[in-house]
Chain A
Amino acid sequence: MTETHCNDRDGKVEEYLQLLQSLARELERAIRAISTNTLPDFEESVSNQQELSRRLAGLASGLNDLENPDRKAPPVTFEDGLMLQIQVASAALQSLNQRYGALIARSNRSVAMMVSLFNSFRGNLQEVSGTKPKLQTWSCQI
C-alpha cells in the first residue's frame, strides 16, 4: 500500500517538476512574443500559463494531502535528486517571473501611454494633391 502510495507520489512529484519547467518555458515564450510584437503568440502563452499554474496549484494541494493524510505516518523522504531539481526549477521560475512581471508592468505603462496619446488625436487628414495614387497621410508627435 505504502509502495503504491510512494509510486503515486513520485509520479506526481515528477509531474510537478515538468510543469514547473513548462511554465518557465512559457514565460520565456511570452517574453519573446512581446519582443517580436507577436500578439497571438503572447495571448496563447498567457492562456497556457493560466492552465499550467492551475494544474500546479492543484497538484501541490494534492501532494500535501498525500503527504499527511492523517498526520500519523512519519514524513517520507523523497529521492534527493528529484527534490533538488524541483528546488532549482522553482527558484529559476520565481526569478524569471520577477523579471517577467517587471517587463509586463513596464510594457503596460508604455502601451497605456500610447493609447492615451491616440485618445488625444484631434488632427485632420490631409490629402496630398495631384492625380497619383496617394498614401494615407497622418502624423503625430510623440
Chain B
Amino acid sequence: MRVNPNLVPDVLAALEQSQSALTAALQQVSTGKRVNVPSDDPAASAAMVKNTIETGDTDQYTQNVSSVLSMVQTADSALSNVVSSLTQAISLGTQGANGSTSSSNQQSIAAQVQGILESVVAQANTSYAGYYLFAGTASTTKPFMADASSASGYTYNGNTDVNFAAIGDDMNVQVNLPGSQVFSNSSTDVLGSLSNLVSALQSGNASAIQTATSSVSAALNYIGQQRVFYGNVESRLNSQQTYLQQETVSLSSQQTILVGIDMAEAATELAQAQTANSAALAAAAKVLPTTLLNYLSPPQ
C-alpha cells in the first residue's frame, strides 16, 4: 500500500475546518450569543420562542401591577379622606344635637355638613390618569353628578360593572368597586346619610339630628369595610410584584443558558480558533509549493 503522495487535500480540508471554526467563534463574541440561527441549536431555538413570549408577558404584567397599584392606592387614599370627612361630620352632628346649641348655630353647622357632603362627592369623583375610579367600568363618565330630584342631591351615572386587570398568566385582579356600592348603596347610603344630617340640622330637631348622626357613624364603619377590598388588592399586587421580579431573573438566566455565552469562555475560544487557523495556514504554506522542484531550481 503506497503512502498517499497528495498531502494537499488533507491540508486544505483542515484549513477549511479551522476557518469556519474561526468564523463561528468571531460571531459568538460579537453577538454575545451561542445560538444565532436555529441550526446552531434547534432545541434551544424552539425553547427560546416560549422564553421570548413569556419574558414579554412578564414585563407587561410588571407594568400592569405598577399602574393598577397606583390606581388602587389613589382610590384608597380618596376613601381615607372620606373617613376624615365623615369623622368631622359626626362631631358636627353631635354638636348640633346638643341642646345648648342655638338654632342659628345649627344652621351654620348644617352649612358645614353640606360642605363636607360636597367634598365627599369630590372624593367619589376621583380620577387617575384621566379615568374615574368609582364609576364602575364607565370610567370616562363622571360618576356622581348634582341632581336636584335626587334625595341626596346627587345621581350615580356610572355602572355596577367591575374590571379585572391581567397581572399574571391566568391571573386577573379586580381593580375597582362601583361607586354606587361604595357611596350610595341602598343599605348604607353614605351620601344619603350626609344629606339627611344636613336636613336634620336645618330642621333643628335634636332627635332627628341624633338619628342622622348615627347613620353617618354607620356610614363611617361601612367605608372602613369597603377599604378592606382595596387593601387586599394592594397586598396581592405587592406579592405578585415580588414574584414577577423573580420570574424576570429566572427567564433571563434561562435565556443565557439557552443561547448565551460566557464572554470569558468565548474570548478564550476565539483566541484558540485564531491560533489553530494560523497553524493550518502555516501547514498549508509548507505543503503547497514545496516539492523537490524548488530545491532543484535556485531561488529567484
Contacts and interface: CB of A to CB of B under 8 A. Distances in A.
Interface stretch (B4-12, B115-123, B224-232): B4-12
A134 B8 contact: yes
A92 to B, nearest CB: 38
Contacts of A138: 291
A119 B297 contact: yes
A85 to B, nearest CB: 45
A118 B293 CA distance: 6
Contacts of A115: 296
A110 interface: no
A118 B296 contact: yes
Interface in A102-120: 115, 118-120
A134 B6 CA distance: 9
Contacts, number: 31
Contacts of B297: 118-122
Contacts of B293: 118, 121
Interface string B42-53: 000000000000
Given A115-B296, A118-B293, A125-B289, A135 B9 contact: yes
B37 to A, nearest CB: 20
A119 B296 contact: yes
A2 interface: no
A127 B9 CA distance: 11
Contact of A135 (B8, B13, B16, B289): B8
A33 B299 CA distance: 34
A133 B13 CA distance: 7
* A-side interface size class: 10 to 19
A141 interface: no
B296 A133 contact: no
Contacts of B13: 133
B5 to A, nearest CB: 8
A135 B10 CA distance: 10
Interface in A77-130: 115, 118-122, 125, 127
Contacts of A133: 9-10, 12-13
A139 interface: no
B151 interface: no
Interface of B: 6, 8-10, 12-13, 16, 288-289, 291, 293, 296-297, 300
8 contacts: A118-B293, A121-B296, A121-B297, A122-B297, A122-B300, A133-B10, A135-B8, A136-B8
Given A120-B297, A127-B288, A136-B8, 5 more contacts: A118-B293, A118-B296, A134-B8, A135-B6, A135-B8
